[in-house]
Structure 1
Amino acid sequence: MRKVIVSLLITVAFNLASASSESDTSLAKLTSMVQSFSSLSYQGVFVRSQGVAMNSMKIRHGLIDGVEYESLIDLDGDKIEVIRIDDSVICVYPDISFANTAAPVSAPLKQFKELNGDRLLEGYRFKLSKKIELIAGRKAQKLTLLPKDSYRFGHAFWLDMENSFLLKHDTLDAEGKVLDRVQFTDISFNPTLKKSDFLPRLGTYSRHVVSVTPKMTDNKWHFTWLPDGFAPVWRDARLLNDRTAMLLLSDGMTSISVFVEPTDTIKPYSVMEMGATTVGEMSRSLLTDILRLTIVGEVPEKTVEKMLMSFAPRTMQ
């Protein structure tokens, strides 16, 4: 009997050590992935699909004379471009009238630049595949983040075997259905890039985007419930205007934005979903105020609804 118990203890210890080793290896690969976005020179085309919507983008990134250059062009529709030279950002539109109505182009790779390993371990298990796959003509290894609960989505990353660059990313629901996908169809590293490759095209309208340091205010609210691993990114609330404040939470992978605005009317709970993104809204009477609450995040609808109902003033603690 003692031999059986000892054998079981050894097996459990081995499994725990293996899981810990796989987590350490996976976190190291994710860290290398994030570093590759800014340290490598690359040029390629990727496709992003969200639900039934799909569009393709061309990205160029390089370090020229010690300065970081990046260009992102929407290849569908009117070919809006965003050029970044270190911290200077330029949006390029077909003309001035189009600039007043077009939504800015965003790079989906940037969402992973704030990965937090400690929080990831609270919310996800890691699975590193031994199978080597081919993505955009490059050898890649698949790393899957399996959620420990039903309040977040799963993620699958295909990382370049040579440099850990992210070649493909899937956001997955509980059944493994792909909700959102970013995949390179063509990618080359160390391309010959010049400063002239990052100039606005002739005949277009360019607008410099100035990053304004937002005003902050005391965070008067909290959540009586949050999924494990989720915590505020900012200690204070960010003021978007005279009426609207914003809170930001993250589990180390996924961010959830919370917008708080005073209102005069009670609005029932409503929700909209597009791919992995869920937008929930409702008005609640809290103490002497009626607040319109809006939550936006790449999380299941049940998470958004439960967070809306868990929102409370700190004085109620």
Structure 2
Amino acid sequence: MVFTARSLFQALVVNTTIVACLFGAPLAFASSCSEADVEALGWLAKMSRSYREVAYQGVVTFQRGDDLQVMQIARSMEGGQSHELLTRLTGQGASVVRLGHPLNCTHPGQQLLLGELQQVPDCGLAKYYRFQVGEGDRIAGRQGVRVQIQPRDVYRFGYILELDRETGLLLRISTLGRGDKILERFQFADLHLGEPLSPQRDVQTVHPARHPHPDIPAGGPALSASWQVSWLPGGFTPTDAAAAASARRTYTDGLAVFSVFLEQLSRELQPGEGVAREGSTTSYTRGMRLAGQPVLVTVVGEVPVNTARMVADSVRMVH
């Protein structure tokens, strides 16, 4: 995920996936691609830079169907690091702080978003999405620029971004499913730029920022055998160099991210699958037998159910 404030909310509240970073890597995009909308990619580059340049405090809403959450969110920068605070204003009212994220850390999703990780010059994301720029709405008192992102295949969702015309900061994002149905929407209701974090008492959870390098295998539980995902939608790439026997793999195309988990079981499961979806987040689980071993495969992330099913079906043990 590369959507600034929304990414903070997803990382701290909704999604536990940790995405690796590339330190000091320059941002660029393949402007030579005939299918790329240079204006749209320019705005996406500005949005990416805003994550390292813009401090803010504000109130945001996050809506999934009939569920509406309201949060206070803030971000400050000091000594080459960013610090972020999120406080729920509805429900339990918990607060979460993430400290010490290096400003020169560029995540693989940001690199892909701008075509940086392509080994040969090609269209990057423009090969998998269509982009269109237009006049945006006024959101939280600031004029927006609208970037519509439409998938070119059935393996991913679409998006409508509203970016602050002055800074490129993401003001609103709508995730679109089949028939352009809005699956979820994140939006600033109030926004003040350049303000430091307010002192907070009663903070329930503090997350030190973690920054695994993509060439270093991710930690986590190990399995007794190696495995691989043999099919991915076009454009998706690993976010880190997961060890062969690691129980998790994480992939991104620069806009969406999903993880695959493999659990070895001590007994057989009944044939079948389980699907749960909340907004744009799909959780797909299937029990199967691989290399004579009963396993549970789970795919969790921002992809349609059929994509998650195809990814799960492609899991193979490696001898």
**Which TM class, normalised by the smaller chain length?**
0.7 to 0.9
Give the alignment partner of residue 37 of structure 1, picking from 51, 59, 67.
51
Which residue does the alignment assign to 2:269? 266
Which residue does the alignment assign to 2:255? 253
Which residue does the alignment assign to 1:284? 288
Q: Is the 8 A contact 2:133 2:148 kept in 1?
A: yes
Residue deviations 1:25-82, cap 9 Å, x none?
2222112212212311211111001232210111122234665332211111222112
Please tell me whether Structure 1 or Structure 2 has the larger radius of gyration of its CA atoms: 1
Residue deviations 1:261-314, cap 9 Å, x none?
101222421111111111110111111211110000111111111111121124
Which residue does the alignment assign to 1:223? 229
Q: Does 1:236 align with 2:242?
A: yes
Q: Is the 8 A contact 2:109 2:253 kept in 1?
A: no
Letter in 2 for 1:152: R
Distance 1:187 1:173 in 2: 28
Which residue does the alignment assign to 1:56? 70
Which residue does the alignment assign to 1:138? 142
Which residue does the alignment assign to 1:121? 126
Q: Is the 8 A contact 2:77 2:83 kept in 1?
A: yes
Q: Is the 8 A contact 1:141 1:159 kept in 2?
A: yes
Alpha-carbon spacing, 1:235–1:122, altered in 2? closer, same or farther (3 Å): farther
Unaligned runs of 5+ in 2: 1-30, 116-123, 213-217
Letter in 2 for 1:116: L
Residue deviations 1:100-144, cap 9 Å, x none?
xxxxxxxxxx99656533342332111111x24211221111001
Q: Is the 8 A contact 1:22 1:128 kept in 2?
A: no
Q: Is the 8 A contact 2:94 2:204 kept in 1?
A: no
Residue deviations 1:135-189, cap 9 Å, x none?
1221111001110101110011001111111000010012111001001111121
Q: Does 1:27 align with 2:36?
A: no
SS in 1 for 2:180: coil
Structure scoring higher RCO (CA < 8 A, sep ≥ 6) equals 2
Higher helix share: 1
Query: How well do the aligned residues superpose, as a CA RMSD in angstroms?
Result: 3.0
Q: Is the 8 A contact 2:228 2:318 kept in 1?
A: yes
Q: Does 1:179 align with 2:183?
A: yes
Alpha-carbon spacing, 1:123–1:136, altered in 2? closer, same or farther (3 Å): same
SS in 2 for 1:215: coil
Distance 1:52 1:300 in 2: 20
Letter in 2 for 1:121: A
TM-score by length of 1: 0.75
**CA shift for structure 1 position 234:** 2.2
Residue deviations 1:213-243, cap 9 Å, x none?
753769933333321112222232487xxxx
Q: Does 1:150 align with 2:154?
A: yes
Unaligned runs of 5+ in 1: 1-16, 89-109
Any runs of at least 4 consecutive aligned residues in structure 1 with deviations exceeding 4 A, and if so which?
64-67, 110-115, 205-208, 210-214, 216-219
Letter in 2 for 1:124: Y
Identity among equivalent pairs (%) = 29
Give the alignment partner of residue 73 of structure 1, picking from 87, 98, 104.
87
Letter in 2 for 1:271: V
Letter in 1 for 2:91: G
